[in-house]
Chain A
Amino acid sequence: MNDINQTTNQDTPTGATQDWNSASDTDVMNADIIIAMGLETLSEAEKVAIIDEMTATVQLGVAKRVMDQLDEAKQQELSSMMEKDDSEALNQFLDANIPDFETLIEQEMVAFKRAMLTGNTSPQA
């Protein structure tokens, strides 16, 4: 039985176990998290539910990263948008204040997946 932390990476042709601690960001990125964590036999509903939860968590993580990059004034501005629930303003705000948003997402995604795959969930990058 594979350990959840050393599961089969579907990208590994030999089916060799993958040490996610030492895996490259690219490997982590390319990994099918469902397969890598050995969940492929779950029901579709359960898979979807897990992916939903994962997505929400990543979003929260990205949100934290965004807020980390904002000074107090900008956070206040963000707070104002939240009160108005102004999506359009938020889009513009992020465009203006988080210039490398895509990279940030990518980094967060890697961090998230690695944490999930290794079980090291305490510190977020």
Chain B
Amino acid sequence: MPVSAEVGGPSEIEQSFKQSGYPESKPVGDKIPNGIDVSQFRLTNEGLQMYGQPIAPNPDQLEQFQALKKTVQSGEWPVFWEKHDISFDLIHRDGKTQRIVKFKEPRPVTIHPDMAPTAKINLIDLDSNGPGQTRQVEYQDINPNVRPPVNPEPLPFQNDESPILQSRGNKGGEVYSDEAENGFSGTQGDDGSISVDQPNSGPDPFIDRPNAADEPQPFIERPVREPQPDIDPGRAEAEEASEDAAETGDTSAANSETGGNSGEPEASEGGGATSDERDGSDTKGEAGAETGADGKDSKGESESNPDKDAKAESGDPGTDEETRKKAEEVKARLASLRESIEAKLGEDKKGMGAWLGKKMGGMPVFRERAGFYLSVATAASGVLGLGDVGSYLKYGRRVLGMVNYGNVSSKMLMGREFANEVPAAFQRSEAILAELETKPEAAKAAELQEEFQKLIAYQIGLHQHGVDLARYATEAPKAPPPVMSFWRRTANAVGNAVKESVTTTEGRKRTGKMLLYSSPLIAAGLVTGGILPVLAAKAAYAGVSAFSSMEAYKRMKGVEKTEATPRSPLADKTAELIEKYQALHGLTKPEESDVAATAKMTEIEALRDKLLGAADKKQSELKWNNVRGKAFKRSLYGAGAAFAFFALTDFFHPAHAQAAGSEQHRSSPGGISNEKMPSGGETGNQTQFANATTGEIKGITSEPMSGPEAAHHMTPDEALKEAFKQEPSPDTPQKFGSVYSQGGKEWINLDIDHSGHVNAPEKFQVITEGGHKYALVTVADVRGHDGVPEIMTDHAVKVELVNTSVKGADELMHDKLSIEEQYGVLVDKNHPDQYVVSLDANEQAKYGPKNMAQAFMFGNKRSIVENILYKDNPSGWEQEKTAYGSKLDETMNRSDWKYTVGRSGAMASVDNNLSPEIQVDWDHKTNQLIGHGNNLDFLFNPTDRPLDKEEILASTGGDKGLAAAIYRSGLTFPEGQLQVEAVKFAGPNPADTESALNSMKTFSHELTTRIDLAFGDPTRKAELLQKIQSSVHDNWVDRDVLFKLLAMPEKAITADQAKTGTPLDIAGLEKYATANISAFNSSPWRIPFELLNQTVKRLGSAITSAWQVDKGDNIVISVILNDHDVKQFVLPKVESA
């Protein structure tokens, strides 16, 4: 039977989508409670898809996706969902309905093949809100030709503990049965899984078909359905023509006269047809033909390939006999090769060889290269990449599937398709611009805005799973800043990565663009950077990644010559479009806007001082440069971001758009400050920024700002004042610890960052559930003091406000936080009813019921690491509360420290200006400690690793309680102990160097001053950049070299500066430390002595002098290493060392 790849054809909604050229900008179809537009999903033999895209963009879904693919191929129905319990109703051809499965985890479902041809599936979301909230959506696009295998391979998650659904599952437990009514029954396993019984007795296709292997292959070779730009209004007709042609074998129909940009590369009913992705060139629809790898016109091939036409006519479901034979030959050769190698290894070494091979397969160096050559990405294909390309099996330009490795694969897939999509999107936007230029100014601005929003939503939606698309489709019209941010960052990332090409010693040439497009990180960066500004920093990182790929390639292949390549047309086009867009709206150029944004920040800082008052100013300045100040600074940047948003929103208001060009708008930094904002703002506040752009604050903001609606018509100054409004309005009592109403929502002000500024509290939204009030605290508010894992970035701590009574101001100044000792639970910050229960292998959150939610205690933030990340079997909420703090968790991994504190002291050796934005990771392979932040990497001395669990335990004399306290305290990494050895620049050219230096300005006042001084003189600046570049090796520049070039021959805290006070006897340091460890055994002061002791033990041979300075009740001991490195310890004043 001829089979369409998608029986039933596109749904009405999807057809509508195709014809419109854009996704619906308003919710369509049924929606389940969290806003996912399930009507956009289709269940096909490629798996669960949206607009033809497999839905597996997230690392935590990759395994599921892989399993899903295998599941499909093994003939089982793939079913997976995210975060929700799902039930499926199968509707049999006679109309009978059977509830098939209810599960919490993605599981494959085996469905009797006889049900498939006309079955419908209802997806029912069984969210925690209960069945009453469920919706049902019918699916008719079910391929009837999927057949279960005779001996299906075990799925990755198929084991005794994780029973998958079998056709005749017999797990005990609740029986789902409406057999009496519908003739079906199923059985729920103990773990909640459901097995499905067949409705009727008869031959079991899984058991009773011993010769099934000899039967015709049931699977239809179906190409990966590529995202369609849909920029051609004639596309739908072209598709129809193509489909018609597929049925008739008449390819002429597919060569649509519409001049359509391309036909849908769908598998035709003729089967055996594959179609490579399109690159925007004129790919005509074909029937039973294979599109060329470059996506060029394949008509000729179609017409001139009688074999394939014949196959199409015959309905050959896929691979031809000839290919089958070749495959068998290949397998035989493979077996022969393997036997040959094993024979050479000999019996005694065979095992070791297998082990070694397997181990090496997991090594990046091997993986990359093996994947590189095997995956046959060729220069001509333009998709050559090194990093993780081995994860993908490709041919031509088409990604076929994952091989084995790593979750980057899914990103890679996104990246590949994204890269192809962008030019088409640009083409579309070009046309929009041309059209709009013929229209009156006011209409032009409004339409342009709308079109761009649609465009960006479309672009992103094509490459994101349904949640994001639904979100953007509905919210993008309100979100111009992300649009701008996305485009600018895309341009920057692309531009940065295409500036170089290399010719290898073998004569092959690779360009940065090739590597760029193949980089999974650039893909992730580009996409996520466009989705949420809070993640936009990844785009910049992705640019680095592309260069890393280039560097890796150069190292691997050897480079004969390196040359600059012209800026990519893509980047140029982006920049051009942005410029046009800005010109149309009266915006200034980005550079000028950056200046304006900088000036605005200066203004904000001035206002800050004014608001804080003279008495507070000194304290403010002091704190400004420490971690607490940083937190406050972030809030200011957040306010700046809010301000920027307000201004831009104001600008985009249609009424104001009419007046585009006004001075007020020209001076707006809107849409620009996002990039200018330091990373603290990006990570901590862009979420709010993004949320704000959606037109509503999602409810989790710590920023002292009002909703964008309120600020919609504000002038920039008004918005700024609003952002820093100090006097409470009559109906908004803004007292610490009390819940108050504002803007229709409830809020509470707390001093959770311990800044001590009662005038600058953190403001959290309060929600009410079941009569209880909860504050939602984002990561931006809990970070800074000690380590908070990455997982927190997208989550919030939901803490019940059990006592919201107002403490006295004085008491608060000491006690700081009224919820200090309370527990909270980790939730999705945008969905407070989604509780984090654990992390998967990729450290992505898994969600579950509230009673399994992970605990978080504000009094000890480090607990989050233990509770969530490092327990094999995380305990539940009640258990956690009971067990908390009782002992050091024995399950903690030795390497887990990387999440602890590293950053707290990361930049200490630069200027003691702690930079909480620096994340530190330990690279076990290279034994290097590397910090990441501000788009730069920092290489530290490996000896600077913090204390690990064993060392801490040893240092406490076996006192696990104290060890736990130390471990959790974040003091395992003493401030000042990290020494930056080198700084990694984004790229080896003046612009990158300058950019890197500029980003470093946030680290140190002195560094800033030096850079500013150097850059103040153009000649000096050019000279400096040139010298730095010449000092860069593999993008790293030695810190001391850099400081020397910046006229900072010593560190900001120089050894000479530290050599004051009383010189100490080095030999006596250890004894001094040891004695005081005993003396302060029951005191927290034991810790710095421990740190001193550890430093002496570890680095004793490098210590060249030690000095002591009295500081009131304390002393500061400065240990000088190799005459130029400094480590300082603040200690209680006791007997002299």
What residues make up the interface of A, taking CB atoms closer than 8 Å to B? 1, 4, 10-11, 26, 29-48, 50-64, 66-67, 75, 78-79, 82, 85, 87-88, 90-91, 94, 101-102, 105-106, 109-110, 112-113, 115-116, 119, 121-124
Contact = CB atoms under 8 A, between A and B. Distances in A.
A89 to B, nearest CB: 10
Given A33-B374, A38-B326, A82-B352, A57 B345 contact: no
Nearest to B74: A45
Given A54-B334, A91-B363, A30 B379 contact: yes
A45 B293 contact: no
Interface in B205-246: 217, 219, 221, 224
17 contacts: A29-B373, A30-B378, A47-B400, A48-B403, A51-B374, A56-B357, A58-B370, A59-B357, A61-B357, A64-B344, A66-B356, A67-B349, A67-B356, A75-B349, A105-B369, A110-B373, A121-B336
A66 to B, nearest CB: 6
A102 B38 CA distance: 47
A123 to B, nearest CB: 7
Return the 4 tightest CB-CB contacts between A and B, nearest first.
Answer: A32-B376, A59-B357, A63-B356, A45-B73
A110 B345 CA distance: 20
Interface stretch (B314-322, B469-477, B1118-1126): B314-322
Interface string B891-934: 00000000000000000000000000000000011000000000
B1004 to A, nearest CB: 35
B632 to A, nearest CB: 42
Given A41-B272, A57-B337, A91-B363, A78 B506 contact: no
A116 B356 contact: no
Contacts of B358: 56, 59
A63 B327 CA distance: 26
Contacts of A39: 323, 326-327, 330
A51 B375 CA distance: 8
Contacts of A87: 359, 362-363
B333 to A, nearest CB: 5
Given A41-B221, A62-B360, A87-B363, 14 more contacts: A31-B378, A34-B400, A38-B322, A40-B395, A51-B375, A59-B361, A75-B352, A78-B356, A90-B360, A113-B373, A116-B333, A119-B329, A121-B333, A124-B344
Contacts of B219: 43, 45
Contacts of A124: 337, 340-341, 344
A41 B320 contact: yes
B338 interface: yes
Given A47-B400, A48-B401, A52-B404, A82 B274 contact: no
B323 A101 contact: no
A95 to B, nearest CB: 9
A41 B352 contact: no
Contacts of A105: 365-366, 369-370
B73 A43 contact: yes
Contact of A64 (B326, B353, B379): B353
Given A1-B322, A67-B352, A45 B69 contact: yes
A11 B400 contact: no
A43 B925 contact: no
Contacts of A56: 338, 357-358, 361
A31 B360 contact: no
A47 B398 CA distance: 13
Contact of B378 (A10, A48, A57, A115): A10
Given A10-B396, A33-B374, A87-B359, A122 B354 contact: no
B143 to A, nearest CB: 14
Contacts of B924: 88
Interface in B346-396: 349, 351-363, 365-366, 369-371, 373-376, 378-380, 390, 393-396
A56 B352 CA distance: 14
A46 B219 CA distance: 11
B802 interface: no
B318 to A, nearest CB: 6
Contact of B360 (A47, A59, A110): A59
A4 B400 contact: no
Contacts of B290: 40-41
Contact of A109 (B221, B374, B396): B374
B487 to A, nearest CB: 34
A42 to B, nearest CB: 5
B394 to A, nearest CB: 8
Given A47-B401, A87-B359, A42 B319 contact: yes
A121 B329 CA distance: 12
B331 interface: yes
A100 to B, nearest CB: 11
B338 A60 contact: yes
Given A67-B349, A67-B353, A82-B355, A109 B401 contact: no
Contacts of B293: 10
A66 B370 CA distance: 15
Contacts of B396: 10, 32, 35
A50 B349 CA distance: 25
Contacts of A40: 274, 290, 323, 395
Contact of B345 (A34, A67, A82, A112): A67
Given A37-B326, A45-B73, A51-B374, A57 B356 contact: no
